[in-house]
């Protein structure tokens, strides 16, 4: 009897050791209005955090927004739901203002919109949203204890899919709060929105001249990213077990001080950076994903084009894959969760 128990225990421990450990946490950062060529032009001296990610992680300066819309809320909804804006399977949210009383994603779509928040929450993980624009209340109200879908996955974790929601226009305060959570009770899946580059772009234009207000703001955003990377490694609750995904909702134009013209490449060209355990260090994302993604050059091809580019909409399903969770139900971008960011075994 003892030998049987011992054999079973040994087998169990062997399976436990052999089982791949999931990344405990994912931080998805949206750098609102950050053009990737700003990072390129700043170089390592001006953007040390982004260039650290490029050395230690994987990235591209040629990712894409949604095909039809290059504005904030539609593209952030692409990120969390991994679908495009329009079409039968799109999320259909085209407004870019604070939602009116009673407005939510599901009512507007006339069908429930599953999200990365929902998948993570329903699998028992803690979720958080730190936003720097008040219109991000759209997500808090769409996935609250009333409008969130019932949890039908394992134990009932409730309908409220976003466990922690904080909105502050002062992104420095958001960063402080997020870093404090790393030290005390970090969420498993967190989304952070940084408004700074967008705010400066609308006021001063997306001017990539050295020393311009926009480029100085890009430096500020880089410094905040650097603080987060250091804080992740400083906390035993997050060190070496946190992935960071950084992308954007759109770029912007110097002359018009806007980004709504969806046919302009400076609006639809965005960064996509990934840093974390086992990342494909120093590799360009299109090279890592040559079998499933195609560099679009200066185009933003329709969703039905063979060989899709990397999009901000990849982020939601990528985050879930890194958490060893299934794809968002009904998603169409990275639905196979085949965007690779890790080094080959």
Q: Tell me what pLDDT residue 53 has.
A: 98
Sheet holding 242-247, edge to edge: 164-167, 127-131, 189-194, 25-31, 242-247, 269-275, 58-64, 283-284
3-state secondary structure of 39: helix
Q: How far is the C-alpha of 327 from the C-alpha of 320, rounded, in Å? A: 7
What is 142-180 written as a DSSP string? HTSTTTSPP--SSS---S---SEEEE-S-HHHHHHHHHH
> How deeply is 335 buried, as exposed, middle or buried, from its count of CB atoms within 10 A (0-12, 13-18, 19+)?
middle
Residue of 285, 300, 335 whose CA lies nearest to 61: 285
User: Is the residue at 12 inside a domain?
Assistant: no
pTM of the predicted protein model: 0.93
Residue 15 lies in a domain: no
Kindly state whether residue 174 falls inside one of the protein's structural domains: yes
Residue pLDDT, tens place only, 103-151:
999 999 999 999 999 999 999 999 999 999 999 999 999 999 999 999 9
Looking at residue 262, its pLDDT comes to 97
Asked whether residue 337 is domain-assigned, the answer is no
Residue 16 has pLDDT above 70, yes or no: no
Q: Per the domain annotation, does 260 fall within a domain?
A: yes
**Which pLDDT value is given to residue 177?**
98
Would you say residue 330 lies in a domain?
no
φ/ψ of residue 213, rounded to 5: -55, -40
Q: Which domain, by its residues, includes 48? A: 24-322
Which residue's structure tokens are 């899946």?
189
Query: Could you tell me the CATH number of the domain that includes residue 70?
Result: 3.40.720.10
User: 334 lies in a domain?
Assistant: no
Q: How far is C-alpha 198 from the chain's CA centre?
A: 17
pLDDT tens for each residue of 39-87: 999 999 999 999 999 999 999 999 999 999 999 999 999 999 999 999 9
Average pLDDT (84-102) is 97
99: left (phi over 0), alpha (psi -120 to 50) or beta: beta
Question: Within a domain: residue 52?
Answer: yes
Segment 224-233, tens digit of pLDDT:
999 999 999 9
Give per-residue pLDDT as tens, 163-195: 999 999 999 999 999 999 999 999 999 999 999
How many domains would you assign to the chain?
A: 1
């Amino acid at each position: 009897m003892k030998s049987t128990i011992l054999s079973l225990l040994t087998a169990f421990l062997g399976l436990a050791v052999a089982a791949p450990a999931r990344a405990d946490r994912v931080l998805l950062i949206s750098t609102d209005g950050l053009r990737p060529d700003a990072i390129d032009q700043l170089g390592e001296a001006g953007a040390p955090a982004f260039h650290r990610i490029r050395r230690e992680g994987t990235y591209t300066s040629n990712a894409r927004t949604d095909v039809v819309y290059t504005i904030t809320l539609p593209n952030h909804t692409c990120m969390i739901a991994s679908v495009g804006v329009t079409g039968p399977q799109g999320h259909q949210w085209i407004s870019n203002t604070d939602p009116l009383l009673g407005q939510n994603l599901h009512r507007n779509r006339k069908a429930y919109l599953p999200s990365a928040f929902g998948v993570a929450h329903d699998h028992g993980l803690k979720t958080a949203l730190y936003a720097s624009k008040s219109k991000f209340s759209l997500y808090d109200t769409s996935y609250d204890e009333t409008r969130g879908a019932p949890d039908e996955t394992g134990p009932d974790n409730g309908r409220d899919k976003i466990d922690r929601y904080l909105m502050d226009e002062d992104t420095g305060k958001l960063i402080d709060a997020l870093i404090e959570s790393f030290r005390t009770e970090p969420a498993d899946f967190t989304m952070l929105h940084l408004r700074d580059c967008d705010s400066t772009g609308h006021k001063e234009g997306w001017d990539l001249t050295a020393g311009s207000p926009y480029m100085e703001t890009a430096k500020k955003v880089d410094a905040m990213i650097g603080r987060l990377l250091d804080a992740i490694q400083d906390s035993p609750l997050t060190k070496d077990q946190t992935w960071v995904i950084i992308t954007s909702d759109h770029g912007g134009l110097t002359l018009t001080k806007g980004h709504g013209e969806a046919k302009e490449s400076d609006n639809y060209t965005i960064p996509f950076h990934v840093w974390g355990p086992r990342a494909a260090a120093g590799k360009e994302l299109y090279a890592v994903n040559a079998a499933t993604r195609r560099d679009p050059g200066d185009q933003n091809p329709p969703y039905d084009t063979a060989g899709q580019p990397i999009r901000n909409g990849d982020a939601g399903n990528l985050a879930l894959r890194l958490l060893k969770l299934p794809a968002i139900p009904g998603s169409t971008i990275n639905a196979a969760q085949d965007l690779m960011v890790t080094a080959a075994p």
